[in-house]
Structure 1
Amino acid sequence: MSLQIGVNGYPFIVSNNGYILIHPDLRPVYQGFLKDNYNSVDFCEVELLDDGRGPREFSPEILQLRESLVNHTTGSTLGLKIRYHYDDMKRVASEKHNYYYAPLTGTPFTMGIALPEGYGDFTIKVVDTIKTFQQKGINIADYFNGNNWKIHPEWLYCKYHHAAHRTFSSLEEELLHFLEKMSSPDWKWSEQYEPLQEEVDPDTWTYLNSNDSINCKKKDIPEGEYYCDKDLLQLLVFDAQITDPVFRDERWIFRNKEEQELLENYNVTLRFVATQSGLTRWEHVQENEDSVIKGAEFGDLHKHTIEEAWYKSAVLQHEIEKDSFVFSVPFGAGDRDDILVTGSHAIFPRDGGLEAPGSVVGLQFHHSKMRSRFLSITSKIHVREGCPTCTDTCGSEEWECYVIDNNGYVVISENLNDTGRFFGEIEGAVMEAMKIEKIFRKIPIWDYQALRLDEVIKITSAASILMTPLYHLGWLVQWVIGEMIWLLYQTSLLAGGWSSASPSLPVEVIYEDYELGEEFEEDSSKEERERMEEKLSKMPNVTFIVYNESTPCDQKAFLYMLQQNLLPRDGVYKKNASHCSRPFHLRHIPYSNLVLVVVETLYPTCYRRLSVAPMEVYYNYSKYPCQKVQLNELPRRKRMGCFSDHPQEVDIKMCGDGNVASLSLAALFLSSLVLTTVQVLGH
């Protein structure tokens, strides 16, 4: 599926109620825990039309698309300009999407795909390369030599139906096993699922009657049977054949002295390629081990190919400037010694005047080398042209020079601590001025699946037990009553009135080993917590627990995107002082996603800090989930068929009698006893 959809495209599945089952922006898990509302995320909450609307103001075009999906129809919706985030909600893009959808037969769900308009309309298809190699007697596995390659860990290439038939230490070993099998004369292609023998009418689809036998018409699969994605494997082998001559060795062998000098000037450590078929290959450049960052290999960190941020960015950049590279550094890298700059470039093969994204190539090199060359060059070039005696260079105190990327993150700065930071956190007024001048565009992103973490302090104290001895008597009475109730329940005296129609489920009971006392919970800021800890430290027999409590909420983040099509390709853009902003000069760095920003520091400015961090959205009405009430007014569709019974219902043994209303004298007596005891202890 991912092969046909390609980069920046995605599949999705929507239920008859408009909720998404599959979508790239569905985030059901937070820090390893399942969210409470993971199964009630609406389609219109994840598809944001780029039309400037505010939170919970859903676009009519998206609502119309949602209605078509809910109604189980087949069709398409073309040319919707969508804004979306990627790279852990740090980057934003805006492009037109084409939607195609159709119902999933026999289910209440509708499946669709979203493709970026233009480059998403075409994909690369190769001839039967595997058959050609077989006829020529070529061993396909020879194109996968060495350990400097990986395949996409979540894509299906070839697998056995019975996993226990053969185990493998890695996906790469499994792939090589099947590539060897392809050389066998009795090799055959088989799919994971057999095609449907007959179509099912979704309007008449029901459960089987109780008199019918359940027969899924599935054949028993013998041991050793396997299945493969033929199209994906064909393209994978093609990519391996094309890239093998370049990446056969684990070290880059220089072709000439000029190439070697160029790479050594920037201390390039690694080159790589990632293809649409899920193949990633890399090759270290320097023989000197000190030049290679210790730790995991590139393929272990970046093996998701078309889903990697540098892959997505390179393809988006190709739509703006075909010959350019995308450069990026890790967010918040600061003054680390091991910072690597990643540069990537998209390759679009052409055929008959049409092109499609086929792969991304790139380099990694040390940030320190790039920064030192930048400072060396800019300290010799004057900001003011025609003034060779002036001291207005980036090395002077009058100017601050930055190189920032197309989303506003600092790649190079005179202050090493700025590396990877958002430029608006450093020069907020200048960033605001660039937004006003339409150099950068400020794009709001609404997150309707967010969680707010509140710090809660739980305090326990044993002092109240000493002050109130009657608690011991209360515990004794509670224990006696509990034992009586449990005894009556075990002897079924209360079963007629207290039975449940649901089967018994295992219950986990957690006992805390502390003396029961006064407890309270409250949300505290850091300062309040410190004051409380100081106060509690002076009290004997006091313990406290600090933990985070999550609450669903809506959040917004303002992300920025460089308007590269509006920038002058030649010359310098100059902006005089205005409002809070200092004067600044800006110039696009050719063949890249970077701009050079030079700020005149001698001018006064009011401090204005801009942030890309998500912030909670507060509404005029009550708290969450009241803002989701309007979703109840959106169209929904009733389930198809009748679901009043099940053919195996007669075999259910765990049945209760909860539907019978009866009076239990034992329960009435015990309730009166408990109420009287509580009143006595309260006095």
Structure 2
Amino acid sequence: MLGKWSLLFSHMCSSSSSLLLLWTLVGLDVVEVSGSQPGIPLSVVKLWASAFGGEIKSISAKYSGSQLLQKDLWAITAPRPGTNSSSEPGSPVKGRINPKNAACLAAWEESGGIRGSPRKHGESFQTAYRKRLLGPNLGPPCTEKYKEPEKSVRVEEIDGVKLVKNLALKLEEVFWKKAEATRRLVEAAEEAHHQHEDNPDLQYEYFNAVLINEVDEEGNNVELGGEFLLEPNDHFNNLSVNLSLSVVQVPTNMYNKDPDIVNGVYWSEALNKVFVDNFERDPTLIWQYFGSAKGFFRQYPGVKWHPDEHGVIGFDCRNRKWYIQAATSPKDVVILIDVSGSMKGLRLTIARQTVSSILDTLGDDDFFNVIAYNQEIHYVEPCLNGTLVRADRTNKDHFREHLKKLFAKGIGLLGVALAEAFTILNEFNQTGRGSLCSQAIMLVTDGATEMYDDVFEKYNWPERKVRIFPYLIGRESAFADNLKWMACANKGYFSQISTLADVQENVMRYLHVMSRPKVIDHEHDTVWTEAYVDSALKDKSGPSLMTTVAMPVFSTKNETKNQGILLGVAGTDIPLQELMKLIPKHMLGIHGYAFAITNNGYILMHPDLRPLYQDGKKRRKPNYSSVDLSEVEWEDKDDILRNAMVKRRTGTFSMEVKKTVDGGRRVLKMHNDYFYTDIKGTPFSVGVALSRGHGKYFFRGNVSVEAGLRDLEQPDVALADEWTYCNTEEQHEHRHLTQIQAIKMFMTGRRTHLKCDRELIQEVLFDAVVTAPLEAYWTGLALNKSENSDKGVEIAFLGTRAGLSRTNLFVPADQLSNQDFLTAEEKEGVFNADHFPLWYKRAAEQVPGAFVYSIPFSTALENKSVVLASTAIQLLDDRKSPIVAAVGIQMKLEFFQRKFWTACRQCTALDGKCGISCDSADINCYLIDNNAFILVTEEPSQTGLFFGEVEGAVMNKLLQMGSFKRSETQHHISLSPKLIH
């Protein structure tokens, strides 16, 4: 195979008419598309294709070392005389690399090894070459150090059900540890409050998160500031923190020294020792905190807070989802907003803001609707008459847009509106689709002329299942008494909102009333949030995604026990990156992945969950936390997978899928098998997807620990940064260790407390030994400069299924055309927690031995103009064989294009005079890859573009011919907002 690309030529008539001739080359096939006039002979095109394809593949194979590595692997798995030759999965296959294998040796010498190297009889070329490189006095004897070890390989089919159940158990353990840490906070907070007696005159200096380390004009610490030691900590992404103390944040609209605040801060100081103890028990913890019902927020570790550009910190812990979910039960809510004539002007503005703030307090487990009323009732969203919708981000934003359209006129008939609200709640509850828990009516109005006791008697008494929360808008109190009576008669709460500044504090009060049943019954329910972005804890790639475990904190004092007083909520954050480290990526294969969803079907983690816009500004998408599984696994038209996981079932599912890679520019088609189960003690379910074919099989390789560690410590070796070979986070003394150092200590027994994945380590040691010859091979190519005519090749690289990589530079690092390649700056080019490198993925879908070529789309600058070539390495010459590695090279685009133009000057003329070439003014030549992106063109600005953008008519012709197929995919980024019922 010459690789996967298409070679396009178009012959232009002198009259500048449209394209007349076109040939495509895919692999070795050249097809004439059209042409009624004399053009380029087909034989010439085939000649050019053969010349270019043969040379570029030869260069790619030579510098990548693909033939050497493939033959070494086949030598390992080849049966020895007298052994079973079966290569079926599960049957052990043992063998020994034979350094004298003629084919293997020929590959070395043919590909640029040093000629004339004296070798003893029977000595491998690798050993002899190492001796020459090291010399007689450098390191241990090469014959001993590089002795070929005995190796064994076994291919097995992956048990997807067992795999997902094991993953669920690991996740369950992590979630349980975080929940226990939160429970200890709850117990300590309740005990501290129980022992405290409120003192309205208490004076207490505490560390205010905004004021710490601030000084006045005279250089003195400001009040509530003080000197607070902060040190950068790598566990918190080098944020400066204090691991001994917490800090307290008070909302901007509240007084820092309010007696309620000071008393609460005083007794909650007891949490400091629990924070520290939790962190010592579980060093993987990050933020721990207590959010008070009074409004203050205690956070550990201590960190300084900075106001925004307007000098304001808008954070109020009581508005956060973790607080609201823990403080209240799921609820069905109907919001009634008065739009009669008396609500004109400022009152309607305050009413809109009040409704918007109420929507902020609703979470994904809640359901709602908004009805405006005057002499008639008007559903704010006309399409949703007589029903409720889930209170996710998309739906709430949709309703906010409709609130802007409201205007005031006429008279207000509240009785009709109340009757409609009661009817909706009753009928929706009977469908079984709602929260099946609490129900409430929020009434936003400037007054009520009567009590409407007849309505309440008909719909709500004597059970009083629906609570009424009236919000009186404006300063006048003429009609306040009727509203207060409604609240008291229906187990609700009355609030008056006079200005926009009063809205948030008054709206929040209803939450404490809704929490009373839970408080009285002392139900310390553990709640878990959906994925959300923590703006404080960010890394190079931007803010971190996380979930929170939270529990309510109650007053246990005898005198208030039956009043149902909520003190606040304690919580702990869990970065999703920590959860992703538990995924056995080497078992999932190149295209496989793990994912988790909430009880509402929203994604907790998934490779296609991208919370930020890819525009370089790291802007958050508005609905990133409520992306439904059906929006990324969109081929499941009947939501079979989603519904089974929401119902917390254990099972399997299969379907054909199209997965986009390279920023959505390319599509890989495959058949996935899904395996799923629930995570006990949480509202989450987890699944794994395995692609059929090579993705269903894995191999177990075995080498000696000594040999593996020796080759693992070579300077050209690196391990996947985001994979966990050993857990170095659980013990403080291990945090300074690299993964390779940790592996060495674990495998030699020097650190018995290290928790490591022995199976993964065994695979990576095997990979280190098997790929070790590449180091000498690449070094030989680099040193043999006198015979190296391929000056455009810059890097050779290798990646294995166990996350091991090797690289070799053929030019100095500062002369690389694309210095971001194989670094964290190009995330698609390296092993990540949720995906293999792009060059590995694409190579795996080609015929083994065929190279796939592309221009990285991040290479926008001229000095980054490169071409990548990669090919997959199979363990066995068998369809069921796993892809164990991929190798490739990076070469200069100019070098690659020069080879192309040179090839296109050849012809079959005996005198060597070619009448036709790509140099001709009336011929346009293109080289495009297997996804129709231009690799070579006479117009440099078109390089990297989709061919259809440049030659749309020709692209259509290629589609009609079947040379390319149009692939349509759906991505949740581009979906228009939809209402989820």
Question: Which TM class, normalised by the smaller chain length?
Answer: 0.5 to 0.7
Map Cα deviations across residues 412-465 of structure 1 (whole Å, 9 max, x no partner).
112222221111121111112211222111112222234xxxxxxxxxxxxxxx
Q: TM-score, normalised by structure 2?
A: 0.37
Q: Highest CA radius of gyration, 1 or 2?
A: 2
Partner of 1:500: none
> Alpha-carbon deviation of 1:293?
3.8
Partner of 2:656: 81
Retained in 2: the 8 A contact 1:267–1:291?
A: no
The 3 A distance-change label for structure 1 pair 44 and 364 is same
SS at match of 1:89: coil
SS at match of 1:253: helix
Retained in 2: the 8 A contact 1:333–1:420?
A: no
SS at match of 2:599: coil
Tell whether 2:640 aligns with 1:64: yes
Aligned partner letter, 1:430 = V
CA distance in 2, matches of 1:10, 1:408: 27
Tell whether 2:790 aligns with 1:265: yes
Retained in 1: the 8 A contact 2:934–2:943?
A: yes
Which of 769, 774, 795 is the aligned partner of 1:246? 774
The 3 A distance-change label for structure 1 pair 151 and 400 is same
CA distance in 2, matches of 1:148, 1:241: 13
The 3 A distance-change label for structure 1 pair 103 and 270 is same
Partner of 1:398: 922
Partner of 1:143: 711
> Alpha-carbon deviation of 1:75?
1.3
Partner of 1:503: none
Tell whether 2:600 aligns with 1:17: yes
CA distance in 1, matches of 2:876, 2:931: 29
Retained in 2: the 8 A contact 1:139–1:183?
A: no
Partner of 2:807: 282
Tell whether 2:623 aligns with 1:37: yes
Tell whether 2:122 aligns with 1:122: no
> Alpha-carbon deviation of 1:186?
6.1
> Alpha-carbon deviation of 1:21?
1.1
| Amino-acid identity (%) | 28
SS at match of 2:596: strand
> Alpha-carbon deviation of 1:65?
2.1
SS at match of 1:341: strand
The 3 A distance-change label for structure 1 pair 96 and 266 is farther
> Alpha-carbon deviation of 1:379?
2.6
Aligned partner letter, 1:312 = K
The 3 A distance-change label for structure 1 pair 308 and 260 is farther
CA distance in 2, matches of 1:431, 1:229: 49
SS at match of 1:440: coil
Deviates more, 1:332-341 or 1:351-360: 332-341
Retained in 2: the 8 A contact 1:314–1:344?
A: yes
SS at match of 2:797: strand
The 3 A distance-change label for structure 1 pair 243 and 323 is closer
The 3 A distance-change label for structure 1 pair 352 and 371 is closer
Aligned partner letter, 1:444 = E
Partner of 2:232: none
> Alpha-carbon deviation of 1:291?
6.2
Tell whether 2:364 aligns with 1:364: no
CA distance in 1, matches of 2:632, 2:858: 27
The 3 A distance-change label for structure 1 pair 93 and 180 is closer
CA distance in 2, matches of 1:183, 1:121: 29
Retained in 1: the 8 A contact 2:658–2:669?
A: yes
Retained in 1: the 8 A contact 2:904–2:917?
A: yes
The 3 A distance-change label for structure 1 pair 432 and 274 is same
Unaligned runs of 5+ in 1: 50-57, 189-224, 451-553, 555-623, 633-683
Partner of 2:963: 439
Map Cα deviations across residues 45-93 of structure 1 (whole Å, 9 max, x no partner).
10132xxxxxxxx723xx1222222221111112x11112111111111
CA distance in 1, matches of 2:819, 2:782: 28
The 3 A distance-change label for structure 1 pair 65 and 417 is same
Retained in 1: the 8 A contact 2:694–2:879?
A: no
CA distance in 1, matches of 2:860, 2:910: 36
Which of 707, 724, 747 is the aligned partner of 1:156? 724
Alignment of 1:231-630 (within 5 A): 231-247=759-775, 252-254=779-781, 261=787, 264-265=789-790, 267-286=792-811, 292-293=816-817, 295=819, 298=822, 301=826, 302-304=829-831, 307-317=836-846, 321-331=847-857, 333=859, 336-350=862-876, 354-381=880-907, 391-450=915-974, 554=975, 625=977, 628-629=978-979
CA distance in 2, matches of 1:140, 1:367: 37
Aligned partner letter, 2:652 = S
Which of 609, 630, 634 is the aligned partner of 1:26? 609
Partner of 1:207: none
CA distance in 1, matches of 2:629, 2:944: 33
CA distance in 1, matches of 2:914, 2:693: 49
Partner of 1:618: none
Retained in 2: the 8 A contact 1:102–1:110?
A: yes
Partner of 1:91: 666
Aligned partner letter, 2:932 = G
Aligned partner letter, 1:28 = P
Partner of 2:182: none
Retained in 2: the 8 A contact 1:392–1:398?
A: no
Aligned partner letter, 2:711 = Y
Map Cα deviations across residues 339-369 of structure 1 (whole Å, 9 max, x no partner).
2211100011028874001110111222212
Partner of 2:684: 109
Retained in 1: the 8 A contact 2:656–2:672?
A: yes
The 3 A distance-change label for structure 1 pair 186 and 341 is closer
> Alpha-carbon deviation of 1:247?
1.7
> Alpha-carbon deviation of 1:10?
0.8
CA distance in 2, matches of 1:102, 1:289: 47
SS at match of 1:322: coil
Q: How many residues align?
A: 390
CA distance in 1, matches of 2:830, 2:861: 27
SS at match of 2:688: strand
